[in-house]
Amino acid sequence: MAQGRLTVVGTGYNVAGQVTPEALTCVQRAERLFYLVSDPATGAWLKSQNASAEPLHHCYREGEPGQAACERMVERILAAVRAGHEVCAAFYGHPAICVPPGLESLRRARQEGFPAQMLPAISFEDCLFADLGVDPGTHGRILCEATDFLLRPRRFDPTASLILLQVGAIGLVHFREDTTPNRAGFRLLARALRQQYPESHQVALYRASQLPILEPSIVWIPVSELPEAPLSTNSTLYVPPLPRRPLDQEMLTRLRQAMSEV
C-alpha cells in the first residue's frame, strides 16, 4: 500500500478568490479532500474541484466543547492518511490561525511518520490590513485572542496596533448553532480597554467579506461606545496605536555611529 501523506491548506475568504495556485493544485489532485469553511458557496466550489470532498462541520455537536469536535476532525483526516491516501484538508482563512484541527492534524501526521506539510494562505489579518489600509510595520502590532486577552492580562505597548480576535465570542467554549454574540463578555473587554485608551480613541469592528458581491464590514467607533457597538461572533477588533514615543536619542547616536562604520 502506498504511504499516505497530508497537505493542509487555507481557502482564504471570498469563495475561490483567495485560494493560491499551490493550494488549488493540492485540492484538485487529492485522493481524499476534507474541508471546514465558513460559507456554503466555498463548500460547493470545493466539491466542484474534487468529487471526494467531505465536509467536517458535522463533527460539531450542539452544546459540546469545541475541542471534542476538533478531535473528531483530526481523526477523520488521519484515518484517510493511515489508509494510504494522499489527503488534503482545507480550512477557511489561514489553517494555522485559530483553526486548531489544521495544526493538530499536521502535528499528529508528522508524529506518526507520515509526510505532511501546511501551505500558507490569506488570513483575516491580511484582509484587515488591506481593507483598513494599515501597515503593521510602521508601529508594530499585537495579536491576541479576545478571551485569552482578558483571562491572562498582558503588559502590552498601546503605541503598537492591537488586534483582538473573536471579540463577539468571548467566553463561549461550547458549540452553538445560534450565532448570537456574547454581549456581556464584550462589555468586559470594553471596560478593560478603557483602562489603556482614551474614551475618544477610535477603534474598528471588522469582518472580512465572505462573498465577492459583499463589502467588508468596518465600523469605526470610540472606545466609550464599544459596549453597544454592532457585533457578531466572528468580529475582529482593531485598536489603532496611540501616539509614538519620543526617539531614544542615545540609541539614535549609536545607530548613526554604526552606520558610519559600514
Q: Where are the domains of the chain?
A: 5-118, 124-239
Confidence band, pLDDT 50/70/90 cuts, at residue 227: very high
Average pLDDT of the segment spanning 231-238: 93
Encode pLDDT of 164-212 as tens digits.
Answer: 999 999 998 888 776 789 999 999 999 999 999 999 999 999 999 988 8
Alpha-carbon torsion, ordered 125, 75, 33, 11, to 10 deg: 0
Please say whether the beta carbons of 57 and 36 come within 8 A: yes
The full 3-state SS of the chain, as one line of letters, equals CCCCEEEEEECECCCCCCCCHHHHHHHHHCCEEEEECCCHHHHHHHHHHCCCCEECHHHCCCCCEHHHHHHHHHHHHHHHHHCCCEEEEEECECCCCCCHHHHHHHHHHHHCCCCEEECCCCCHHHHHHHHHCCCHHHHCEEEEEHHHHHHCCCCCCCCCEEEEECHHHCCCCECCCCCCCCHHHHHHHHHHHHCCCCCCCEEEEEECCCCCCCCCEEEEEEHHHHHHCCCCCCCEEEECCCCCCCCCHHHHHHHHHHHHCC
Mean pLDDT confidence for 124-139: 94
What pLDDT was estimated at residue 175?
82
Lowest mean pLDDT among 2-6, 41-45, 105-109, 219-223: 2-6
State whether CATH 3.30.950.10 applies to domain 124-239. yes
**pLDDT (0 to 100) of residue 1:** 56
pLDDT at 133 over 90: yes
Residue 104's pLDDT is what? 96
CATH topology of domain 5-118: Cobalt-precorrin-4 Transmethylase; domain 1 (3.40.1010)
In this predicted structure, what is the pLDDT of residue 194?
A: 94
- Looking at residue 196, its pLDDT comes to 93
Residue-wise pLDDT tens digits, 90-116: 999 999 998 999 999 999 999 999 999
For residues 226-247, average pLDDT: 92
- Give per-residue pLDDT as tens, 40-86: 999 999 999 999 999 999 999 988 888 999 999 999 999 999 999 99
Query: In the predicted model, what is the mean pLDDT of the chain?
Result: 93
pLDDT over 70, % of the chain: 98
Q: What pLDDT does residue 129 have? A: 96
> Is 132 a residue whose pLDDT tops 60?
yes
Q: What are phi and psi of 121, to 5 degrees?
A: -145, 170
